[in-house]
C-alpha cells in the first residue's frame, strides 16, 4: 500500500485524494495507475471519522503549529517515560476530536523515547501529525524567531494565540524534580517563553505547573473556543481547583484513568459480617450444650 507524504495510507483517504488533491501535494505524482483506480472508490469511514481526518489533514497544511518537545528522555525513568507516552496518546486523541485541530509536531523522537512510543502508542506512524527525530531548533532552523516555549516560569503571559508563532510544550513527567527546566532550556537556546493566563481565570490549589496533555488540550480548546476561561474550565480537573472557586470546573479529571477494579458498594460488607455473626452464634450454640451437659454430670 502506498503511504503518502503525510504518513497516512492513501487508500484509506481515497475521497481526499479524489476531491482535494492539493492536500496531498507531492504525494499524488507518486501514485501508480493501479493505486489511483483504488482511490476512486468511496471512503469506507464513517462521516464523523472522515470529517475529523479531513480537519487534521487541513491542519497539517495551515493549522496553528504546536510542538511537543520530547528531548527529555534522559531525565525520566522507564515508568515516567511510559506515563508520558500515554499522555501523548491523549494529546493526539483530543486534537483528532477537535472541530479545529492544531498541527501537532513531535520533535526529538529517538532513542528510548522512540522505542517507548512505538510500544505504547498504537499506530503512531499513522498519526496525522509531524514526527521528527531532530530537535525543534533543527526542524525549524529557518523560523527560530517564531518559536515560543510555554512554561509556568515565564514572565510573559499569552493573551491570544498568534498564528505566526510556533508554540512548544515540554514533554516530560518528572514529579516536579526539575525546577525551571523548560524556561532554562529556552533561555540557553535564545528563544522566547510565555505562560498561559491561568491565574486570570482559575484559582488553583497548588502550583500552576501542569502535565503535558493538559497544556496541549488547553491550547486546542482555546483555538477551538476562542475563550481562555472556557478552555481552562473544560480541561483543568476539580482536584486542582482551589476551595471556593465557583467556576464551572469539570467534576472529574478528564484524562482516561488506568482501569481499576470496581469498588464494592457500601452495603457489600454486610453479608460478610452477617456470615461471621452466624458463625459466632453457631459456635456459641455448640459450646453451650457441652457446658450444660458438664454441669448436669456433676
Is the residue at 222 inside a domain? yes
Residue 132 in domain: yes
Residue 47 has a pLDDT of 57
- pLDDT at position 243 is 60
d(CA 141, CA 265): 58
Asked whether residue 65 is domain-assigned, the answer is yes
Q: What confidence score (pLDDT) does residue 33 get?
A: 37
* Average pLDDT over all residues of the chain: 75
Tell me, yes or no, whether 206 lies in a domain. yes
Q: Per-residue pLDDT for 294 more than 80?
A: no
pLDDT tens per residue, range 244-260: 554 544 444 344 433 33
pLDDT one-digit tens code per residue, 67-100: 999 999 999 999 999 999 999 999 999 999 999 9
Tell me which DSSP letter residue 176 carries: T
Q: Model confidence at 59, in pLDDT bands (50, 70, 90)?
A: very high
Q: Is the residue at 124 inside a domain?
A: yes
Domain count, the chain: 1
Given strand 103-107, what is the order of strands in its sheet? Answer: 130-132, 103-107, 65-69, 166-170, 147-150, 192-194
For 93-127, the pLDDT digits (tens) are: 999 999 999 999 999 999 999 999 999 998 999 99
Q: Please give the pLDDT value at position 209.
A: 78
- Active-site residue numbers? 174
Is residue 228 in a domain? yes
In a domain? residue 223: yes
CATH number at residue 135: 3.40.1280.30
Phi/psi at 170 (5° precision): -70, 125
Contact between 166 and 132 (Cβ < 8 Å): no
Share of the chain above pLDDT 90, in %: 55
| Residue 36, domain member (yes or no) | no
Q: Is residue 192 pLDDT above 50, yes or no?
A: yes
What is residue 245's predicted lDDT score, i.e. its pLDDT? 56
Range of the domain at 102: 60-240
Distance in angstroms (rounded) separating the CA atoms of residues 67 and 226: 20
Amino acid at each position: 500500500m502506498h503511504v503518502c507524504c503525510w504518513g497516512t495510507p492513501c487508500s484509506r483517504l481515497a475521497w481526499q485524494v479524489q476531491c482535494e488533491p492539493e492536500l496531498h501535494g507531492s504525494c499524488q505524482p507518486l501514485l501508480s495507475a493501479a493505486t489511483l483506480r483504488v482511490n476512486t472508490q468511496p471512503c469506507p469511514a464513517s462521516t464523523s471519522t472522515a470529517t475529523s481526518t479531513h480537519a487534521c489533514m487541513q491542519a497539517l497544511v495551515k493549522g496553528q503549529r504546536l510542538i511537543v518537545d520530547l528531548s527529555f528522555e534522559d531525565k525520566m525513568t522507564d515508568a515516567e517515560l511510559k506515563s508520558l507516552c500515554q499522555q501523548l496518546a491523549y494529546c493526539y486523541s483530543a486534537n483528532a476530536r477537535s472541530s479545529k485541530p492544531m498541527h501537532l509536531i513531535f520533535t526529538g523522537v529517538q532513542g528510548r523515547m522512540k522505542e517507548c512510543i512505538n510500544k505504547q502508542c498504537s499506530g503512531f506512524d499513522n498519526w496525522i501529525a509531524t514526527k521528527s527525530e531532530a530537535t525543534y531548533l533543527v526542524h525549524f532552523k529557518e523560523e527560530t524567531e517564531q518559536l515560543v516555549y510555554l512554561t509556568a516560569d515565564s514572565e510573559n503571559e499569552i493573551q491570544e494565540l498568534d498564528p505566526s508563532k510556533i508554540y512548544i510544550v515540554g514533554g516530560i513527567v518528572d514529579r516536579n524534580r526539575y525546577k525551571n527546566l523548560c524556561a532554562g532550556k529556552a533561555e540557553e537556546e535564545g528563544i522566547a517563553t510565555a505562560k498561559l493566563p491561568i491565574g486570570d481565570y482559575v484559582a488553583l490549589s497548588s502550583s500552576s505547573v501542569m502535565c503535558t496533555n493538559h497544556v496541549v488540550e488547553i491550547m486546542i480548546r482555546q483555538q477551538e473556543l476562542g475563550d481562555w476561561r472556557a478552555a481552562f474550565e473544560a480541561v483543568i480537573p476539580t482536584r486542582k481547583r482551589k476551595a471556593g472557586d465557583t467556576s464551572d470546573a469539570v467534576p472529574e479529571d478528564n484524562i482516561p484513568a488506568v482501569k481499576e477494579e470496581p469498588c464494592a458498594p457500601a452495603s457489600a460488607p454486610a453479608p460478610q459480617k452477617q456470615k461471621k455473626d452466624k458463625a459466632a452464634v453457631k459456635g456459641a450454640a455448640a459450646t453451650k450444650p457441652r457446658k450444660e451437659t458438664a454441669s448436669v454430670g456433676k
